[in-house]
Structure 1
Amino acid sequence: MQTEGTILIGDKVKKFIDSRLDGQDLPKDLSTLLAVVAGDPEFEEDGNNPLNIIWAELLWTDRKYPLLDHDYINDVDRANPDIMANVRAMQDTDKKLKFVIQCEDTSLIGYWQPDPETPLEQCALFWLNTEGQYYLTEGKTLSETLAYRALVDGDEDAFRSLLDAFERLGIPVPEADETSIFADMEFRATKVGETPENFRNQRYEYYRSLQKI
């Protein structure tokens, strides 16, 4: 028998999947993370939550996120055709980049899905940083990305804590060093094809051309 709390948790997860991922099947590590965080509200703030170790959070639909919602746009920005062309181009890009995580500095991580027929499990992950730049993530999965980013940033303690936290959730993250991380990123970059940055730039030029007519 479902309790009211169970129904609310299920509704929260469904809204996340429908809004952020268009109702698609979840990659395994995201599915596990979503289930444990949504299933236990206290776990979201717990030290065993890998997201909490690095002050990251899932993009719940009842919250606002600056880079996703573009709440930073003011009236002066709206009067600037360059800025608004870029905002529209980013909004178009965001439809193909399924964001799921916000990190401490408000940067986002999402699955790049230019072809809607490609399962999310097979999609490359990309960052969107606070400068509006898109770039390939440090890992090929969400869990790898969070752990390897900590290592690349020089935080060995956070890296080890993340490995342990993911392991406790049944999400194994392979050991790595900076050399292997960057080598794998370079290899994966050759497989991406059109990147979010390329797509955004094309859409920006399109919207700027409309303003000149």
Structure 2
Amino acid sequence: MCDERLEAFSRERLGGRPVPEDVRVLATAQWEGRGHPFEQLGITVLEPGALHPLTDHSYLSEEERADPDIMANCAASEQMATYLKAVAQDEDGNFYGYWLHPQQRETQPPPVIKVDTELTYSELGGRTFSEACLYDIAFDDDELFVTVAAELAQLDIRIPARSREDLDVLSVDPAPEDMHMRLFYAEQERLGRRD
């Protein structure tokens, strides 16, 4: 059952790329009902078949759908979903995903980006998905960092760092925020809205 879900997850969430080991462990624990430390903090792995948060515009009113600037932003978001592969979402609607833009260096793991409900893109530290989530949730709380890292170790997800500051910060190219704005402006021009 989990193998089929992981295959679907790879296909739908990662464009067919292999599911990273830590994501596989987190997803399997979640789907089997055993839970994982991030789930306790409100972050859950997205199910296969769930809409990508950047392509779900079901919340828009008819008035908003009539606004060309809002629709240009929606079109830019949908294009961003090509590069930003959504993996998990938190209870506030923010989501976490891998940045897989063609310009991104292949000599490092793909960076993890957090996107909030206002489409603010945050580049997270860490070389793995789990490190990036820990980077985000621990913020300046080293005790929480150590506690969650110890809980992850019980799932055989090792975090060698002892604090957020110890995590690598990967280069992100191009910056997701800049890419989104370029796509937004191009869509405005296409709609004849840009001055």
Secondary structure of 2:156's aligned partner: coil
Q: Compared with structure 1, are the counterparts of its residues 66 and 115 closer, same or farther at alpha carbon in structure 2 (3 Å cutoff)?
A: closer
What do residues 92-111 of structure 1 show as CA deviations (whole Å, max 9, x unaligned)?
01111111010122111111
Query: Quick one: which of 163, 175, 181 aligns to 1:177?
Result: 163
After TM superposition, list the pairs within 5 Å mapping 1:18-167 onto structure 2: 18-38=11-31, 40=32, 42-44=33-35, 49-63=36-50, 68-115=55-102, 122-152=109-139, 154=141, 156-157=143-144, 159-167=145-153
CA distance, structure 2, for counterparts of residue 34 and residue 206 of structure 1: 37
Q: Compared with structure 1, are the counterparts of its residues 149 and 127 closer, same or farther at alpha carbon in structure 2 (3 Å cutoff)?
A: same
Percent identical pairs in the alignment equals 26
Report how many residues are paired: 193
CA distance, structure 2, for counterparts of residue 147 and residue 82 of structure 1: 35
CA distance, structure 2, for counterparts of residue 62 and residue 113 of structure 1: 20
One-letter code of the match for 1:192? V
What do residues 146-194 of structure 1 show as CA deviations (whole Å, max 9, x unaligned)?
222222154834x33311221011111123435445xx43xx3xx3221
**Structure 1 runs of 4+ with >6 Å offset:** 116-121
CA distance, structure 2, for counterparts of residue 85 and residue 115 of structure 1: 23
TM-score of the superposed pair, with normalisation by structure 2: 0.85
2:8 corresponds to? 15
What do residues 62-100 of structure 1 show as CA deviations (whole Å, max 9, x unaligned)?
445755522222211110011110111011011111110
CA distance, structure 2, for counterparts of residue 102 and residue 81 of structure 1: 28
Displacement, 1:25?
A: 1.2
What do residues 110-137 of structure 1 show as CA deviations (whole Å, max 9, x unaligned)?
1101129977972111111111111201
Displacement, 1:141?
A: 1.4
Task: Give the helix-richer structure, 1 or 2.
Answer: 1
TM-score of the superposed pair, with normalisation by structure 1: 0.79
**Alignment check: 8 A CA contact 1:100 1:108 kept:** yes
CA distance, structure 2, for counterparts of residue 25 and residue 61 of structure 1: 14
Q: Which runs of 5+ in 2 are unaligned?
A: none
**Alignment check: 8 A CA contact 1:113 1:120 kept:** no
1:193 corresponds to? 173
TM-align CA RMSD: 2.6
Q: Which runs of 5+ in 1 are unaligned?
A: 1-7
